Structure 1
Amino acid sequence: MQGEKIWLSPPHLGGSELKYIQDAFDTNWISQYGSNIDAFEKTIEDYLGYDSFVTALSSGTAAIHIALRLLDVKEGDFVLCQSFTFVASANPVLYQNAIPVFIDSEASTWNMCPNALEDAIKYCLQQGKKPKAIIAVSLYGMPFMVDEITEIAKKYEIPIIEDSAEALGSKYKDRPCGTFGDLSIISFNGNKIITTSGGGILISRNQQLTDKALYLATQAKENRDYYSHSEVGYNYRMSNISAGIGRGQMEVLEDRILKRRENHSFYNEIFKNYDEIDLFAEPNDDFYSNYWLNTITIEENNYQITKEKLKKIFIENNIETRYLWKPMHLQTLFGGYKFFGNNLCGILFDKGLCLPSGTNLTDESKSKIRDLLTDIRV
């Protein structure tokens, strides 16, 4: 181990977060109510535009779960899920005792393959049940194929839950991620581009749905003079403290996006000299990625460079890296569920690696990374 650790994607505070946290203490709103929550939601609504209504929740996972409830997903229903993602995209389907059907990736964005999606829909219809939802993920900050997936969803009249957990600040055709789904979610976990220490939001274009989301997220309490409940609810509301952190983080969001994209340019300059290593990048000008994480894939080569070899080199130099997400259809938890595609996502997992991408990546850290990568053919 050498030097101070270089992390994959650590939190990066802007400095004004304490002001909003102090306000919560000064006003004694140390709870799931308070002015920070309202202001945080309004700030994000203004940032996203497109008639977005935001509900601040305890996590992105909670937001997906509430989205499934709003779409009346129940036991035995089919939900179409991207396989190449973090488990939080799919776990809420199991919370509802529904049936996840996993969809392969396509090569340009690594996100949901339209052809495999349509094959899966036809399979579900043959079983006598139309899927209740499509969960489309914008992986590593790269927008999914919005036009193609939306066209299929409209053709079969299936709502889209847009999982933009990793894609705040990303755009497709200059429209922000988080505004494409019938319902959309964003995560503010500690490793995301901005953080509330833990938290997420649910986004809709319908005030009534937003009101129902808040109702479900606060234990489904009915508006009476006593606690009255007629359906299951959850303790999913974001705290006023976390929302205060979020308010401060939103003030530096544009800077954080630029820093992540600068990191991508840094890696692009290094890997342009390596035919055997591909840096994941925007397929064309329709896509604008926040490059939340910079990722590479490594082809077979005469230098015996592998993801395992690279990871070992980084570990020895106190630098955190991580393998790409292991697809859900390859996980023990989901081994019994249907998968549609050619296992491109499995191939990506076999040869891919995530590299340090934090917005507080210093010039000294970049120099250390550059030196290590320059010597990997030795």
Structure 2
Amino acid sequence: MSDEGYEMQYIQEAFDTNWIAPLGENVNQFEKELAAKVGSRSAAALSSGTAAIHLALKAAGVGEGDIVFCPTLTFSATANPIIYQNATPVFIDSDYETWNMCPHALEEAMLKYPQVKAVIVVHLYGLSANMDRIVELCKKHNVVLIEDAAESLGTFYKDKHTGTFGNYGIFSFNGNKIITTSGGGMLVSNNEEIIAKARFWATQSRDKARHYQHSELGFNYRMSNVVAGIGRGQLKVLDLRVEKKRYIFEFYKRELGGLEGIDFMPSNEWNKPNYWLSTITMHGKVRPITIMEALEKENIESRPVWKPMHMQPFFGKFDLVGTNVSEDLFENGVCLPSDTKMTDDDLIRVVKVIKGLWLA
């Protein structure tokens, strides 16, 4: 079989066995296969990465009035579950070394908010955060660590998969991720008892009883057997997808790296990214909006870097700890087309448009 097409085999099995709902062999096996792939003891297949963060916070005992630290440079799905739990987010700035949560800002925040209940760290665009320092700080202050590895499946920090350093890790299989189930997520942990509890919560907290009985608040968060079948097929080609993402990044870096004012997202010797998105920053006469509009005229999609949470209308009332590195990255960043189906001709087309701006 080629590097694609495994999905239909598992989907057909779901229909043949009449297990379509959030139960079945695909769900069970996808949990086992994903856990084995990243090196975690257990996993719960859920409807989204957001649901996984929500249940991780619930498992951490986060509730009304609790403080949760969250990177400001991320998608809102990282922060929203904090509000679901009626907790209070405090946003932590990035550093230039990783583009992720700054350990210095995190330490400052822990001194400012010693009552903090949990820390959510994100591996932005497939770049690993500085996990040694972040883990050290969380252990020192006895704070639960949750890794949002939605964008970093296949990324390694010092030869260990991201998503497996904290008490809980989450992955996303949304349509834009490196592998996709169309929608879905996974919660992983070495605490098998907690993962079993998360599965219970995710299936409406239905007690083991002959009748329908619920002793706890539940959620409709379980992944369907059909979706899990897609995930099993996609997981088989993860390494190939990572290889292609890295190829795309190196192509852009080779072709665009010499242009004045362009810098690429950081590389560190301890980080082996999946390069989910190839991202650049602009500090010259050509601005991010100029690149995005030029590509748009050629029907090529690009995007700005995530707008920091502390700049968002909904989250603007919450505290930020740091020096506004995230704002600089947002104002000067561009995410280039990075789809694994891109051909060399596609990449050359993108590069030609961008290079043309320096010749104008």
Asked if 2 retains the 8 angstrom alpha-carbon contact of 1:48 and 1:179, the reply is: yes
Q: Does 1:337 align with 2:322?
A: no
> Shift of residue 369 of structure 1?
1.1
* Deviations, residues 139-176 of structure 1 (Å, cap 9, x unaligned): 00001100011111111010100000000000000001
Distance across 1 between alignment mates of 2:151 and 2:41: 18
Q: 2:10 aligns with which of 20, 35, 60?
A: 20
Distance across 1 between alignment mates of 2:334 and 2:348: 19
Unmatched 5+ residue regions in structure 2?
none
Q: What count of residue pairs does the alignment treat as equivalent?
A: 357
Distance across 2 between alignment mates of 1:295 and 1:331: 21
Unmatched 5+ residue regions in structure 1?
1-12
Distance across 2 between alignment mates of 1:370 and 1:275: 14
Aligned residue number for residue 280 of structure 2? 296
Distance across 2 between alignment mates of 1:264 and 1:70: 37
Distance across 1 between alignment mates of 2:195 and 2:290: 48
> Shift of residue 14 of structure 1?
2.0
Distance across 2 between alignment mates of 1:30 and 1:44: 20
SS at 2:188 equivalent: strand
Aligned residue number for residue 354 of structure 2? 373
Aligned residue number for residue 264 of structure 2? 279
Letter in structure 2 aligned against 1:296: I
Distance across 2 between alignment mates of 1:79 and 1:135: 7
Q: 1:176 aligns with which of 158, 161, 166?
A: 161
Higher RCO (CA < 8 A, seq sep 6+): 1
Aligned residue number for residue 4 of structure 1? none
Q: 1:320 aligns with which of 289, 297, 301?
A: 301
Asked if 2 retains the 8 angstrom alpha-carbon contact of 1:267 and 1:279, the reply is: no
Aligned residue number for residue 112 of structure 1? 101
Identity %: 48
Letter in structure 2 aligned against 1:358: D
Distance across 2 between alignment mates of 1:355 and 1:329: 24
Letter in structure 2 aligned against 1:325: W
Distance across 1 between alignment mates of 2:210 and 2:276: 46
Letter in structure 1 aligned against 2:15: F
Structure 1 segments (4+ residues) deviating >6 Å: none
> Shift of residue 227 of structure 1?
1.3
Q: Does 1:70 align with 2:59?
A: yes
Distance across 2 between alignment mates of 1:366 and 1:77: 47
Q: Does 1:144 align with 2:116?
A: no
SS at 2:294 equivalent: helix
Letter in structure 2 aligned against 1:285: E
Aligned residue number for residue 47 of structure 2? 58
* Deviations, residues 286-325 of structure 1 (Å, cap 9, x unaligned): 10000000001000x3xx3100100010000000000000
Distance across 2 between alignment mates of 1:318 and 1:196: 26
> Shift of residue 272 of structure 1?
2.0
Aligned residue number for residue 159 of structure 1? 144
Asked if 1 retains the 8 angstrom alpha-carbon contact of 2:73 and 2:308, the reply is: yes
Aligned residue number for residue 38 of structure 1? 28
TM-score (norm 1): 0.93
SS at 2:234 equivalent: helix
> Shift of residue 47 of structure 1?
0.8
Q: 1:90 aligns with which of 79, 88, 92?
A: 79
SS at 1:136 equivalent: strand
Asked if 2 retains the 8 angstrom alpha-carbon contact of 1:271 and 1:278, the reply is: no
TM-score (norm 2): 0.98
Distance across 2 between alignment mates of 1:363 and 1:275: 24
> Shift of residue 123 of structure 1?
1.4
